[in-house]
């Protein structure tokens, strides 16, 4: 086994260890594929271990733990959050404009437009104009004033494919949408670093 393969397996193992036990096979497959892709591109990935089982269903407890530990040292005028959320759907990548189960709270317009412009420059199309009644980790950062944007992928009916269904399996993960999200993320990070 090569050193590169050992490192890749170690990275995938770390992702599996950090992920919650209730994660579906599709979620695990997407995380493993993304780790492999980033490693192949020579990127280093910093994983924060916020071990809270079922954090998605418990209203972002993992993100809240991250916030309590790290927000005091992250100035809102120099920190932005780009949330990659549920990227396995096949039809298109979308930029969520705002979210909230009871009241929709839009993300800062300047950062949404910035992400959309950078995506266009990278050759990645983003559907705009969508808001969600779901609640993602972005809500936590948005409510305390950080610039936030969230990318999701959708099926042809503008819904999340296979979300929490038995069909959320590795063979149903659309890697093309994940590749697009990685390209946008990298381009956004590079552009922000230039500022």
Q: pLDDT by residue (tens digit) across 27-55?
A: 555 566 666 666 666 665 443 333 333 34
Give the residue-averaged pLDDT of 104-112: 96
Q: Which two tokens stand for residue 63?
A: 């993100």
Distances from the Cα of 157 to the Cα of 70, 115, 149, 154, 176, angstroms: 37, 23, 22, 7, 18
CATH of domain 3-194: 3.40.630.10
Structure confidence at residue 52 (pLDDT): 37
Domain ranges of the chain: 3-194
Instruction: Report whether pLDDT(59) > 90.
Output: no
Total-model pTM: 0.73
Q: pLDDT by residue (tens digit) across 165-194?
A: 788 888 888 999 999 999 999 999 999 988
Q: Read out DSSP for 14-61?
A: HHHHHS-TT--HHHHHHHHHHHHHHHHTT---PPP----TTTTTTTSH
Exposure string over 128-144, b if 16+ CB within 10 A, otherwise e: eebebebbbbbbbbbee
Instruction: Report whether pLDDT(108) > 90.
Output: yes
Structure confidence at residue 152 (pLDDT): 95
In this structure, of 26-35, 113-122, 151-160, the range with the lowest mean pLDDT score is 26-35
| Residue 71's pLDDT band (cuts 50, 70, 90) | very high
Q: Torsion over CA of 66, 69, 75 and 79, rounded to 10 degrees?
A: -20
């Amino acid at each position: 086994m090569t050193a590169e393969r050992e490192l890749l397996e170690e990275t995938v193992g770390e992702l599996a260890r950090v992920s919650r036990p209730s994660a579906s096979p599709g979620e695990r497959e997407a995380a493993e594929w993304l780790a492999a892709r980033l490693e192949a591109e020579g990127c280093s990935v910093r994983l924060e271990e916020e071990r809270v089982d079922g954090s998605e269903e418990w209203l972002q407890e993992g993100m809240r733990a991250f916030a309590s530990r790290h927000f005091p040292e992250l100035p809102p005028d120099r920190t932005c959050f780009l949330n990659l959320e549920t990227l396995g759907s096949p039809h298109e990548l979308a930029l969520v404009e705002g979210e909230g189960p009871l009241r929709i709270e839009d993300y800062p317009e300047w950062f949404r437009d910035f992400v959309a412009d950078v995506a266009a420059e990278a050759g990645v199309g983003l559907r705009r104009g969508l808001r969600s009644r779901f609640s993602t980790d972005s809500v936590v950062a948005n409510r305390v004033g950080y610039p936030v944007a969230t990318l999701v992928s959708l099926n042809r009916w503008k819904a999340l494919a296979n979300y929490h269904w038995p069909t959320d399996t590795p063979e149903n993960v659309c890697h093309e949408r994940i590749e697009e999200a990685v390209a946008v993320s990298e381009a956004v990070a590079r552009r922000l670093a230039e500022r």
